[in-house]
Chains A and B, each alone.
Chain A
């Protein structure tokens, strides 16, 4: 009897240890954390601002030890590697998602990039909601877990200038009055935001390096924060290129005179003339100053609820 009792006790301990090991293996042990970023539009329709924002978010995740997967339309959102991802970020771009599947025991985050025609019914069921736009964060009621995604850029290597244009004009929003100003400069190059984003990283770098000034015109979407600084602007600054962009108070506060700012089309012309009349050295120095300010002050964490 005593021996049987001891055997049962021994087996019980074995089972208990097996169970403990099982729970640990199932829930805790992981070679590497991973995140899947799903974007609700086709690759070729992503504009420069969205691309730069997503690249920055992915950079932060990597810095925090995550392996990053990214997927866009056409549909391949739920591939094998996604099964074990700890974090799922649904980037709600300019189209809604039509096939959302959320995973229990993972962080499921909805990120709204810019204010667009959204339907409130889309924003249910996630664990967290995020945006770089305070207007979006204020749009929804307090029942949702909202978090602000800070501005910033991937810390790039400084691009060595290789001048071929005076002005590289990248526009997310077509505004002929601004374009007419730019095209008056002899050596200019134009890109729509989508077209620029569709280039390879190397091609984008080459184009940025070729320009003495880079004009980034973001336009304003209905509902945007008036102080929203586009990720594309940060991206250009991070490459160490002289940026000329729409005036925002937040840009003045962050970068002072190290970034060239314009308001109207006439302003743009004046700003470009002043910038190009500066020596190359002075202009490049401003760009380096802006870059340093950016890299010294930008955040290192991704979302504060992700430990």
Chain B
């Protein structure tokens, strides 16, 4: 009889001890390294919901999030406002991708714990203070990647990408244009090269984008067709145009970044003429003709307007290159793998550990 009660007591004590140590091993603040936020920093949450917000990073972030999900990484797009909204997020990775403003150059880990991995996705040249600040960098510039490695920064070269389910050949008669230019003119900045050259050489364009009111006046006002193109319609425009024009900011050319537009247009089998960037030549060869001055600009446009077969042939070659190397699936898969490898190297324990 007494033995029975002893067993009861042992069971009670064993249970109590187990419960106590179970609680001691409870780790409520561990992060989930299969989750990420992509912080574009540029807008407040209600601005992000405006469907025609013309910020490339927003679409890039959304595309990245969608692709990451295929590789087991649940990602959300965050804005500046979300950073300090108490959303109680336990994402292990915080990916920064900005247009403007610049990231705080103070230590990012000043305000969040080191177990959260700060990742920079560099699509335009960032200040060095921003780059030094984070745990790892994915950069779209091979030049900068080499420089970062020399400085001991955890860097990976990762070009931008396009989504083939969003950008694919989709020519439609009602979207046909002769010479298409899709870009925004930001206030206070020099007029973009394509518009300047077109105005100086008399090449007529069809322009879509914001901010062209001052540059396109008088009889040139008619060039400006719309302030905004819904993102889902871009493929029709790119596919249907005889020529799509691209130009790039000086700082991006200097730093060796290729704009996303190159990948999006070529994915639609659009024929592209661009300002000269050595990195484009390296990747695409002569399948994307490039100009170095306004004379070449006009000459290329005149020539290729008159040679549709050559346009088709070059567009096809550029398309194959983009398909092989710059699809979201391939790029994002590599990104997720590298992030996971970094986490393992740092031995960061997540919720599942």
Interface residues of A (CB under 8 A from B): 10, 13-15, 17-27, 29, 40, 42, 73-78, 82-84, 95-104, 110, 119, 121-126
Contacts and interface: CB of A to CB of B under 8 A. Distances in A.
A15 B7 CA distance: 11
Contacts of B114: 75-76
B85 A25 contact: no
Chain B contact surface mostly: helix
Interface of B: 4, 7-8, 11-24, 26-29, 45, 81, 83-88, 90, 107, 109-116
The list of the 4 closest CB pairs from A to B, nearest first, reads A21-B15, A25-B19, A99-B112, A26-B19
Nearest to B109: A75
A13 B7 CA distance: 10
Given A29-B20, A75-B109, A75-B112, A83 B84 contact: no
B16 A25 contact: yes
A124 B86 CA distance: 6
A42 B106 CA distance: 12
Contacts of A40: 111
A76 B4 CA distance: 50
A77 B87 CA distance: 16
A21 B13 contact: yes
Given A14-B11, A21-B14, A73 B110 contact: yes
A100 B82 CA distance: 12
A91 to B, nearest CB: 14
Contacts of B45: 121
Contacts of B87: 100, 125
A81 to B, nearest CB: 11
A13 B15 CA distance: 13
A122 B86 contact: yes
Given A13-B8, A21-B13, 20 more contacts: A17-B8, A17-B11, A17-B15, A20-B12, A20-B15, A21-B16, A25-B17, A25-B19, A26-B20, A29-B16, A75-B114, A77-B113, A98-B83, A98-B111, A99-B116, A100-B86, A102-B86, A110-B86, A119-B81, A126-B86
Nearest to A14: B11
B149 to A, nearest CB: 26
Contacts of A13: 8
B12 A17 contact: yes
Contact of A75 (B7, B12, B14, B113): B113
A22 B112 contact: no
A123 B87 CA distance: 10
A104 B28 contact: yes
A125 B86 contact: yes
Given A10-B4, A22-B19, A23-B19, A103 B12 contact: no
Contact of B109 (A74, A96, A104): A74
A101 B85 contact: no
B91 to A, nearest CB: 10
Contact of B11 (A18, A25, A103, A122): A18
A121 B85 contact: yes
Contacts of B21: 25
A14 B8 contact: yes
A122 to B, nearest CB: 6
A126 B7 CA distance: 44
Contacts of A24: 15-16, 19
Contact of A25 (B15, B27, B112): B15
B114 to A, nearest CB: 6
B88 A100 contact: yes
A233 B149 CA distance: 53
Given A22-B16, A25-B22, A99 B85 contact: no
A185 B316 CA distance: 85
A85 to B, nearest CB: 10
Nearest to A104: B28
Contact of A19 (B4, B15, B107, B113): B15
